[in-house]
Structure 1
């Protein structure tokens, strides 16, 4: 009986230590997010003063921000490329959305400069939000006027040779949902602008860095870049069907990875 009490106590202590370790590990993540921004603040400010210098900003965000965060947290991207992104061409990038690390992983996944379409609320975050609102296309999902402005802003960026990235679930789904229903905004944009859609499956982000502060661990982050979806022969009326095909493709890949 005495031995059993000691075992329970030791197990409780071990769980407590693990939880404290994860809290410090999480704090390290936010430091990795902020430190490069503070170090390169003057350069980032310069490159966000004009849309013409966005490619330079993107290069810094990809190589001096996203990569150090992923590797600094012990996350190691592993790509399975079923199609290759062509330099200088515009695409619509989509993926399942499960974690804050989706942003960093998407930056690493594409060498071509792209612009995120993201929710307006993130612009309120300190420091990060300052550059977020200067470089991303913000959308207030409760405003029809805001959604219309997204299409206008996306058109301008595509004319500049950029790609666009949208997480079509519209946000991070609840813990028990493997893959939420897709909204069709990304597919409508791609059809209207006749650009290929690049579906990606992020297999491990939810496990590696979920929103639960007491979960997560270092390890590999598997990414599948699926064959591109052509929009040249599509019309806006096809957006729903395309969104369902893309969702099914990503869902099957998650299942193949053992995610359920």
Structure 2
């Protein structure tokens, strides 16, 4: 209980303290300066409060000057500060539209130019991904969680195909990023904090030019298979390689198998 209250206090107080400074910095220096604050001031304190010990490998695969779509599995709310620290590139998150109304965090994401997706409205979701495409073509990297939700047990859930349509349209590399350990520190829908290691593995970027322009599913399967492999290498539970693509309109639920053919 002591660790839980301590983390809740630190997260709320430190975010509230930094928020006006972030607004001022954004107005004076522009949006990328807010990422510096998030990476060097906000995230390290939250990770310290939760007792997260960061272990990062694959930094050679990050090129801050190259527009890239970073794709990661999603275990915990703690993934957000952990990946800000682990991936040294000026990226923008693609986040659920509901986060826009969360005090301080949502306001920060809006001010810093992160992208909100309304997944309950297909047309608005498409418009949001188009906005992400414009950022990529302008030289800004994007960070996505294609599972669409946090995994309750750490296994890699099926991926939504929408983000991969964005990658195929923009024709920029996709960098698979795997995180393991945040769920044990801070499980989904819980503030029961248990300190421990957080492992992040940044994989070699995949060239999207090798995929057909409409092969969203093939690209999603290729990226997900690499993240599953990396997750197992980090001691995680991996995931079902075959149950790779989420059913339309759902998060974390695979497409139903085709009905078995009746023998004549």
- For normalisation by structure 2, the TM-score amounts to 0.81
Unmatched 5+ residue regions in structure 1?
Answer: 1-19
Q: Is 1:28–2:9 an aligned residue pair?
A: yes
- What corresponds to 2:135 in structure 1? 157
Per the alignment, in what secondary structure is the counterpart of residue 69 of structure 1? helix
Per the alignment, in what secondary structure is the counterpart of residue 55 of structure 1? helix
Alpha-carbon deviation of 1:254? 2.2
- Which of these residues, 167, 171, 175, is aligned with residue 198 of structure 1? 175
- Written as runs of structure 1 = structure 2, the 5 A alignment for 1:1-260 is 20-31=1-12, 33-38=14-19, 40-44=21-25, 46=27, 53-81=30-58, 83-134=60-111, 135-173=113-151, 175-176=152-153, 178-213=155-190, 215-260=192-237
Alpha-carbon deviation of 1:129? 1.7
2: distance between equivalents of 1:205 and 1:55?
26
Per the alignment, in what secondary structure is the counterpart of residue 200 of structure 1? strand
Checking the alignment, whether the CA contact within 8 Å between 2:72 and 2:145 is kept in structure 1 is yes
2: distance between equivalents of 1:78 and 1:177?
18
Cα RMSD for the two superposed structures: 2.2
Alpha-carbon deviation of 1:81? 0.7
Distance 1:128 1:212, change over 3 A: closer
Distance 1:35 1:73, change over 3 A: farther
Distance 1:38 1:236, change over 3 A: same
Deviations 1:65-98 (A, max 9, x none): 1122213432121112174211311000111101
Per the alignment, in what secondary structure is the counterpart of residue 40 of structure 1? helix
- What corresponds to 1:11 in structure 2? none
Deviations 1:141-199 (A, max 9, x none): 011221121232112212331100110001113x2461110112222111111111010
